[in-house]
Structure 1
Amino acid sequence: MMNAIKKYIGIVWIALAAAVAYYSIGIFGGKLTSGKQDDLVFGIIIFFVLLPLVVTGLTIFGWYAMTNEYED
């Protein structure tokens, strides 16, 4: 029972990673093209530092939950 729940939660984590990537690009995409220097710096930090870390972390966590890596 618990393993099935872990697998479903793994799918939720991976879907959450995709949603975060999609909405972050939609929301912070305007920061890169606004023309203001402050927005450009903020957008670059979000896109090239924080977004890959968050999406990769959620995806790996979801993958491990789906493949029962947390069994031990």
Structure 2
Amino acid sequence: MDLLKRILGILWIALALLTAYFCIFQFGLPKLSTGHQEDVVFGIIILFILTPIISIGLGVFGYFALKGEFSADKM
């Protein structure tokens, strides 16, 4: 079970990198370049609020799973 948790830790870290890429290059920057006020506000929210929360959260969770912090002997 610990091996599965460590493999899933790698998966969470990869998912954090993918979400950072998609939030920045697919959702955030294209919205900033349109010039419409509602798109610029949405782009700023995506880039500076949601992207760090999602990416850092997934990355930290994956890091702890990879290091074995959720194993039964730690409790």
Query: When the two structures are superposed, what TM-score results if normalisation uses the length of structure 2?
Result: 0.90
CA RMSD of aligned residues (A): 0.7
SS for the counterpart of 1:69 is coil
AA at the equivalent of 1:8: I
Following the alignment from structure 1 to structure 2, what is the Cα–Cα distance between the partners of residues 57 and 46?
15
Greater Cα offset, 39-48 or 23-32? 23-32
Unaligned 5+ segments in structure 1 are: none
CA deviations over 1:46-69 (Å, ceiling 9, x no partner): 110011000000000000000111
How many equivalent pairs are there? Answer: 71
CA offset at residue 70 of structure 1?
A: 1.1
Following the alignment from structure 2 to structure 1, what is the Cα–Cα distance between the partners of residues 23 and 54?
11
Unaligned 5+ segments in structure 2 are: none
Runs of 4+ more than 2 Å apart:
none
Following the alignment from structure 1 to structure 2, what is the Cα–Cα distance between the partners of residues 45 and 66?
30
CA deviations over 1:2-34 (Å, ceiling 9, x no partner): 111111000000000000111111212100111
Matched residues, percent identical?
A: 46
